[in-house]
């Protein structure tokens, strides 16, 4: 598996993964699909913030997923706090891709002088993501109860934190 920086050419695959999650899961609160143009703008914003965005590819070059961190809320207020985001292709789940991507993010954060804390905001029903983050030492620092209604049920949002 190869973990590498994302380029604009990767955005269509990344958008497809995000839209699959929006349509088929409750791991993201969003209900309307994303456009490629919107995601290109978002990626440019991430780069302007000097934040990493990685893509995972199989040894044969097949797209597997993506991950990034970005400032949490207003960076002038939340100094040093960055939020992680990871999305995997449905065919890549349970194969170590999330582990590889989160490992790359944490390694990058530990060398990034502006990062003090990584935050992961995870829907409480997403057991795989909770377990993944806990494996890397993220601690649950609180849960917001019933903050979104999707697919006919209320969702809780767990807040996990890793001091880097």
pTM for this entry: 0.95
The Cβ of residue 22 has, within 10 Å, a number of other Cβ atoms equal to: 18
Using only C-alpha atoms, what is the Rg of the chain? Answer: 15
Residue 93 structure tokens: 């789940």
Residue 140 structure tokens: 């649950």
Nearest to 71 by CA among 82, 84, 61, 55: 82
Residue 84 structure tokens: 């992680």
Tell me the backbone φ, ψ of residue 138, rounded to 5 degrees: -65, 140
Domains of the chain: 2-117 (3.40.630.30)
Q: Mind listing the pLDDT tens digit for each residue in 14-40?
A: 999 999 999 999 999 999 999 999 999
- How many residues can be counted in the chain? 164
Q: Mind listing the pLDDT tens digit for each residue in 42-87?
A: 999 999 999 999 999 999 999 999 999 999 999 889 999 999 999 9
């Amino acid at each position: 598996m190869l973990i590498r920086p994302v380029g604009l050419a990767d955005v269509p695959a990344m958008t497809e993964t995000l839209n699959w999650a929006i349509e088929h899961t409750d791991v993201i609160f969003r209900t309307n699909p994303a456009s490629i143009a919107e995601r290109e703008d978002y990626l440019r914003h991430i780069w302007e913030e000097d934040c990493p965005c990685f893509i995972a590819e199989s040894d044969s070059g097949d797209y597997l997923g993506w991950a990034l961190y970005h400032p949490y809320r207003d960076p002038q207020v939340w100094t040093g706090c960055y939020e992680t985001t990871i999305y995997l292709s449905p065919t890549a789940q349970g194969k170590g891709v999330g582990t590889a991507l989160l490992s790359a993010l944490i390694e990058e954060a530990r060398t990034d002088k502006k990062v003090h804390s990584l935050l992961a905001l995870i829907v409480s029903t997403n057991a795989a993501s909770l377990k993944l983050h806990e494996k890397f030492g993220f601690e649950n620092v609180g849960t917001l109860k019933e903050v979104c209604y999707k697919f006919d049920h209320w969702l809780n949002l767990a807040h996990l934190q890793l001091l880097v």
